[in-house]
């Protein structure tokens, strides 16, 4: 059974490809978090029930792989930022604008995560930076193993910036560490200022909260201060950036924050 969505297919539904690659090949040589050993050489010597202490974190494999990724990023001085949000909050547009502003001073690469299609990778490719697309099939989040495989494909240089655009989902990606330096949660003003109260887990694990599409504030019932207050109640350490990726308003502070992290 596949490890991401639990579908009955024996193969791996996750594909990792670069823009232009139409028929992805299924690669079964990757280090997969589940064992492919199906031997049943159990001996019948233990016939009565006995209890074994396990005391293991359920996500320990993912966490271990995430730490491996983190070590790799730190050794190569790669700043990895994990962008999480609902679908349609403007992650890809924010990336396009951020890349256009920063790519002359910092080499950038991108891992795109979506269930299907190369659409986002195609958009990022037009900005001129290396990108790979992870398609999770029916999976609802990226995990550390997918990032490990995508990074092998990307082979980012030392002292670079790596953006990971997670699958649009404000719930599941909160639980899966990727090895990133920071989780950045993005909400757009069209989503409502009560998002942090409705989906607190994501806001509790993020370091940065970007409130996007501020150019639409005059047209929607969204109170910036109320939203920040709601988010700060979930996570008092959150740092906020209000911006419009479309118009560029407020983008400077976000860019400046990235520059400081890279230094």
Partner 1 sequence: MHEMSIALNIIDIVSSQAKAEQAQKINRIELEIGELAGILIDSLEFCFEAASKNTLADSASLNIVKIPGKGICHDCHTEIDVDNYIVVCPNCGGFGVEITQGKELKIRSINID
Residues in the chain: 263
By CB under 8 A, name the binding residues for partner 1.
1, 3-6, 33-35, 37, 41-62, 139-141, 143, 171-172, 174-176, 197, 200-201, 203-204, 230, 232-236
Dihedrals φ, ψ of 225, to 5°?
-65, -40
Which of 111, 142 has the CB closer to partner 1?
142
- To the nearest whole angstrom, how small is the minimum distance from the Cβ of residue 243 to partner 1? 25
Contact 99, 124 (CB under 8 A): yes
- To the nearest whole angstrom, how small is the minimum distance from the Cβ of residue 224 to partner 1? 18
| C-alpha span between 16 and 26 (Å, rounded) | 9
Contact 64, 58 (CB under 8 A): no
Q: At what angle do helices 251-262 and 91-102 cross, to 10 degrees?
A: 60
- To the nearest whole angstrom, how small is the minimum distance from the Cβ of residue 18 to partner 1? 26
- To the nearest whole angstrom, how small is the minimum distance from the Cβ of residue 149 to partner 1? 16
Which of 3, 122 has the CB closer to partner 1?
3
Which of 38, 260 has the CB closer to partner 1?
38
Which of 197, 239 has the CB closer to partner 1?
197
Query: Pairing between strand 131-135 and 15-17?
Result: antiparallel
- To the nearest whole angstrom, how small is the minimum distance from the Cβ of residue 251 to partner 1? 29
Which of 5, 262 has the CB closer to partner 1?
5
Q: In what order do the strands lie in the sheet with 108-114?
A: 15-17, 131-135, 108-114, 161-165, 79-85, 182-188, 208-212, 239-242
Please give the torsion angle defined by the CA atoms of residues 101, 107, 108 and 109, in that order, rounded to the nearest 10 degrees.
150
- To the nearest whole angstrom, how small is the minimum distance from the Cβ of residue 185 to partner 1? 13
Which of 90, 173 has the CB closer to partner 1?
173
Contact 207, 239 (CB under 8 A): yes
């Amino acid at each position: 059974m596949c490890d991401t969505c639990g579908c009955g297919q024996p193969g791996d539904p996750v594909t990792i490809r670069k823009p232009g690659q139409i028929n992805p090949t299924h690669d079964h040589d990757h280090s997969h978090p589940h064992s492919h050993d199906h031997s049943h050489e159990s001996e019948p010597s233990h016939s009565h029930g006995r209890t074994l202490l396990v005391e293991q974190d359920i996500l320990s494999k993912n966490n271990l792989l995430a730490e491996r990724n983190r070590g790799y990023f730190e050794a190569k001085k790669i700043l990895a930022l994990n962008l999480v949000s609902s679908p349609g909050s403007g992650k890809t547009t924010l990336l396009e604008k951020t890349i256009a502003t920063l790519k002359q001073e910092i080499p950038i690469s991108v891992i795109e995560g979506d269930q299907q299609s190369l659409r986002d990778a195609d958009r990022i490719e037009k900005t001129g930076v290396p990108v790979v697309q992870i398609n999770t099939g029916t999976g609802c989040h990226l995990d550390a193993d997918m990032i490990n495989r995508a990074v092998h494909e990307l082979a980012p240089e030392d002292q670079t910036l790596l953006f990971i655009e997670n699958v649009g989902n404000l719930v599941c990606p909160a639980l899966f560490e990727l090895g990133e330096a920071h989780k950045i949660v993005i909400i757009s003003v069209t989503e409502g200022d009560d998002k942090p109260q409705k989906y607190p887990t994501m806001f509790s694990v993020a370091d940065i909260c970007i409130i996007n599409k501020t150019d639409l504030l005059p047209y929607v019932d969204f109170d910036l201060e109320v939203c920040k207050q709601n988010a700060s109640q979930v996570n008092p350490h959150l740092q906020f950036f209000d911006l419009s990726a479309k118009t560029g308003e407020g983008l400077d502070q976000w860019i400046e924050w990235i520059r400081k992290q890279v230094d």
